[in-house]
């Protein structure tokens, strides 16, 4: 008996929440679990996989090539944002979702123009071109945006444009509340952009708390904004990577706990909703971190072997309809194809 909907279609997710812990390898996940006395949000995922992360020109990827691999499905060179190895723009998952009438959102704890989020909406060959990346947000009209980097919008050095005003003119509701003063989320009739800071938002230990709450509020905002075609939401725990670069174990544990709370909120929504695929992964590991002998649950001896990224395989966690596609060992570019397959996009 079919009721007009095939079994295949019935199993498809309507919404996607794609979450990136920048620099989050298995060591970071394990250390966070021990720091929470053997508790981890990752045990709520029924499906896990592992992926390789090398870029087109280096065994060890950067965040631009790493995010472009899963947002566009192509290998590219380190530093690239939404362009392939020949520097040609490649369509991203978020752009595809938008073109299909889905609502879109990005919530990050770095500048909104930083490599990971930028790889979902911008197409530039050099990740440092932050002012150029910001312009892509004016034309893309993403429904819900949260992150820092205000200066790339209204204190531009290369042109005199004020992108905040331009975005307000096209209908955006913009808040410039400081990162520690979470704004009231406005009505959903117009898109919303909270610029949390002029520069990068601070770490959790220095007073940033918005990620878990804004993950939850962002989901509810974009769900209300267009409930018929579903939504595509990107959430990044951006500063796990920075803690790895600075070999700072206390910051690392705090950033992991913050990202895990955001994941828990996404899973709580997905569980109630029943039509949402949640995928959590990382672009690469940072710091070559390990947990040394002599560690116990009260005191972890974490050591770093690097100030940079490493090439170890990266875990992938999936929950909800379509999760089964993420089982096994594959390449970071396969994430793109797996999401397309799960969604039934051609
Ligand atoms: Mg990042
Ligand atoms: Zn990094």
* Residue count (the chain): 346
In the block, tokens 């909270």 appear at 194
CA of 49 to the centre of ligand 2 (A): 22
Closest ligand relative to 64 C-alpha: 1
CA of 80 to the centre of ligand 1 (A): 13
Q: What is the pLDDT of residues 145-185, one digit of tens each?
A: 999 999 999 999 999 999 999 999 999 999 999 999 999 99
- Which residues sit with Cβ closer than 5 angstroms to ligand 2, an ion? 241
Q: Are 344 and 16 in contact (CB under 8 A)?
A: no
Q: What are the residue ranges of helices labelled H in 178-275? A: 210-225, 240-245, 249-273
| % of the chain with per-residue pLDDT over 70 | 97
pLDDT over 70 at 285, yes or no = yes
Helix or strand run (H / E) with residue 137: helix 130-140
Closest ligand relative to 25 C-alpha: 2
Closest ligand relative to 60 C-alpha: 2
Q: What is the pLDDT of residues 230-265, one digit of tens each?
A: 999 999 999 999 999 999 999 999 999 999 999 999
Q: Are 61 and 308 in contact (CB under 8 A)?
A: no
pLDDT over 80 at 5, yes or no = no
Given this model, what pLDDT does residue 47 score?
A: 98
Helix or strand run (H / E) with residue 107: strand 103-111
Q: How many CA atoms, within 13 angstroms, populate the side-chain half-sphere of residue 141? A: 12
Given this model, what pLDDT does residue 227 score?
A: 76
Q: How far is CA 294 from CA 58, 224, 250, 297, 301, in A?
A: 35, 50, 18, 10, 7
Q: What are phi and psi of 78, to 5 degrees?
A: -60, 135
User: Which pairing describes strands 289-291 and 285-286: parallel, antiparallel, or unpaired?
Assistant: unpaired
Q: What is the pLDDT of residues 76-113, one digit of tens each?
A: 999 999 999 999 999 999 999 999 999 999 999 999 99
> Which residues have a Cβ under 8 Å from the Cβ of 299 and sit 6 or more positions away?
none
Average pLDDT, the chain: 96
Q: Cβ-count burial of 174 within 10 angstroms (0-12 exposed, 13-18 middle, 19+ buried)?
A: buried
CA of 238 to the centre of ligand 2 (A): 9
Closest ligand relative to 21 C-alpha: 1
Closest ligand relative to 244 C-alpha: 2
* DSSP three-state, residue 89: strand
Average pLDDT score over residue span 311-337: 98
For the chain, the structural domain boundaries read 15-343
Given this model, what pLDDT does residue 346 score?
A: 81
CA of 284 to the centre of ligand 1 (A): 10
User: Two tokens at 152?
Assistant: 């790339």
pLDDT over 50 at 3, yes or no = no
CA of 279 to the centre of ligand 1 (A): 16
pLDDT over 60 at 1, yes or no = no
CA of 138 to the centre of ligand 2 (A): 26
CA of 307 to the centre of ligand 2 (A): 9
CA of 62 to the centre of ligand 2 (A): 6
pLDDT over 50 at 314, yes or no = yes
CA distance 119 to 87: 13
Given this model, what pLDDT does residue 208 score?
A: 98
Tell me how far apart the 2 most distant CA atoms of the chain are, in Å.
63
| % of the chain with per-residue pLDDT over 90 | 95
Q: Which of 55, 63, 71, 129 is catalytic?
A: 63
63 in catalytic set: yes
Question: pLDDT grade, residue 226 (50/70/90)?
Answer: confident
CA distance 19 to 233: 8
CA of 309 to the centre of ligand 2 (A): 6
CA proximity to 145, closest of 204, 233, 238, 71: 233
Q: What is the pLDDT of residues 42-68, one digit of tens each?
A: 999 999 999 999 999 999 999 999 999
Class of domain 15-343: alpha beta
Residue 87, Ramachandran bin (φ over 0: left; ψ between -120 and 50: alpha; else beta): left
Q: Cβ-count burial of 155 within 10 angstroms (0-12 exposed, 13-18 middle, 19+ buried)?
A: exposed
């Amino acid at each position: 008996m079919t009721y007009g909907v095939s079994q295949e279609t019935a199993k498809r997710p309507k919404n996607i929440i794609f979450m990136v812990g920048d620099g989050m390898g298995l060591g970071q996940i394990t250390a966070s679990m021990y720091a929470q006395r053997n508790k981890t949000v990752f045990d709520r995922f029924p499906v896990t996989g592992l992926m390789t992360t090398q870029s087109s020109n280096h065994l060890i990827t950067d965040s631009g090539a790493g995010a472009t691999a899963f947002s566009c499905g192509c290998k590219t060179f380190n530093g690239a944002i939404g362009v392939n190895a020949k520097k040609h723009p490649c369509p991203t998952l978020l752009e595809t979702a938008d073109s299909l009438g889905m609502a879109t959102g990005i919530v990050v704890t770095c500048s909104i123009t930083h490599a990971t989020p930028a790889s979902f909406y911008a197409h530039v060959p050099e990740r440092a071109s932050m002012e150029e990346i910001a312009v892509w947000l004016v034309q893309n009209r993403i429904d819900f945006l949260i992150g820092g980097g205000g200066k790339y919008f209204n204190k531009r050095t290369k042109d005199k444009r004020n992108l905040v005003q331009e975005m307000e003119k096209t209908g955006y509701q913009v808040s410039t509340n400081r990162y520690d003063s979470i704004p009231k989320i406005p009505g959903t009739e117009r898109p919303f952009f909270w610029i949390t800071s002029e520069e990068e938002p601070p770490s959790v230990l220095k007073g940033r708390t918005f990620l878990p709450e804004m993950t939850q509020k962002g989901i509810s905002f974009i769900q209300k904004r267009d409930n018929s075609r579903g939504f595509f939401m990107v959430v990044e725990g951006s500063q796990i990577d920075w803690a790895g670069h600075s070999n700072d174990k206390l910051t690392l544990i705090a950033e992991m706990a913050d990202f895990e709370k955001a994941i828990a909120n996404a899973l709580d929504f997905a569980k109630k909703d029943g039509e949402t695929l949640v995928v959590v992964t990382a672009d690469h590991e940072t710091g070559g971190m390990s947990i040394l002998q002599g560690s116990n649950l009260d005191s972890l001896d974490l050591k770093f072997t690097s100030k940079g990224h490493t090439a170890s395989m990266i875990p992938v966690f999936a929950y909800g309809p379509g999760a089964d596609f993420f089982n096994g060992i594959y390449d970071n570019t396969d994430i793109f194809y797996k999401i397309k397959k799960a969604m039934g996009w051609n």
